[in-house]
Structure formats: C-alpha cells, structure tokens
Amino acid sequence: MRCPFCGNDDTQVKDSRPTEDGSSIRRRRQCPACGGRFTTFERVQLRELVIVKKSGKRELFERDKLARSIEIACRKRPVEPERIERLVNGVVRRLESLGESEIEAGVVGEMVMEALQALDPVAYIRFASVYRDFREAKDFETFVGGLTEAVNGHTPKPE
C-alpha cells in the first residue's frame, strides 16, 4: 500500500481488526520512510458493477461516491457514522445480490432513498431533492405532501 504522505510503496501493517459489522477489515499502517500512520479498509468485492446513467453513459460503481452522497444528505443530522456505514454496506450488498453486472442509476437511487427514509426523514428529503432534481420550492412542497399522505394513510380531499 502506497503511503499517502510521501508516496513510498512499502508500508507496514501495525494492527488489523474487523469492523463492527464484520463487512471489512480495518488496518492501521505505518510508513518506514516518513513514519506517517494511516488507516485502510479492505472489503470483499463480489463483482465489478457498472452503473448505467440516464444518458446511457456507463461508469464503474464507486462505493466511496455512494458513501459521500449519503454523508452529505446526513450532514448535521443526529446520525452516527456507523449507521451510515451500515446503510452503505446494505445498499452495496443489495446491488451485488441483484446478479447483474450493469445496474440502472435509478435502481441505486431508489435503494438509497428507501434506506434513508428509514434512517432519517430530513436526510431522505435532502437526498430526494438532488436525486429527483427539485428546481423550486413547489417541488419540495409536493414531495413532502406525498410523504405526509403516505404516513397518514390517506390522500387529502380536493378543495
């Protein structure tokens, strides 16, 4: 593993342990050249996933990109980093279990929205606003109105 501080190719593992959910290995490393210490994570990857965008463009699935978007939605919310990590792991496992190597971006977005709805309602709305491309306040109003209806189990009466 290359040292992020000096670029030395030979670093030493000082400590290894599984993460809480057992989905990855956390390794503390040290660079013998500069003495820098850093942490890496090792995860099982069952297959290379390719995301098919709305435009038809294909990109390799990036777990870190998914995690960043979820972290942004949860920013300044009372959500522990471990819960975000579990959510990301769950989405990745679901994607891998689909058995497909190419997955529509919409499938990923819907999985994330479903998971965020159960995790934190504000994070869910934040993610939805970007994912569904809200352009004006009325878009938020319509979306939140639909949530309220779903929670209350009915639709409002027309005026």
Contact 120, 92 (CB under 8 A): no
List all residues 6 or more positions away from 78 whose beta carbon is below 8 Å from its beta carbon.
120
pLDDT at 21: 72
∠ CA(63), CA(130), CA(49), 5° rounding? 25
Across the chain, mean pLDDT equals 87
Q: How far is C-alpha 73 from the chain's CA centre?
A: 10
> Using an 8 Å Cβ cutoff, are 11 and 28 in contact?
no
Are 95 and 84 in contact by the 8 Å Cβ rule? The answer is no
Q: Is the pLDDT of residue 93 over 70?
A: yes
pLDDT of residue 157: 42
Which of the residue ranges 71-75, 122-126, 135-139 has the most confident prediction, judged by mean pLDDT?
Answer: 71-75
118-140 mean pLDDT: 86
pTM above 0.75, yes or no: no
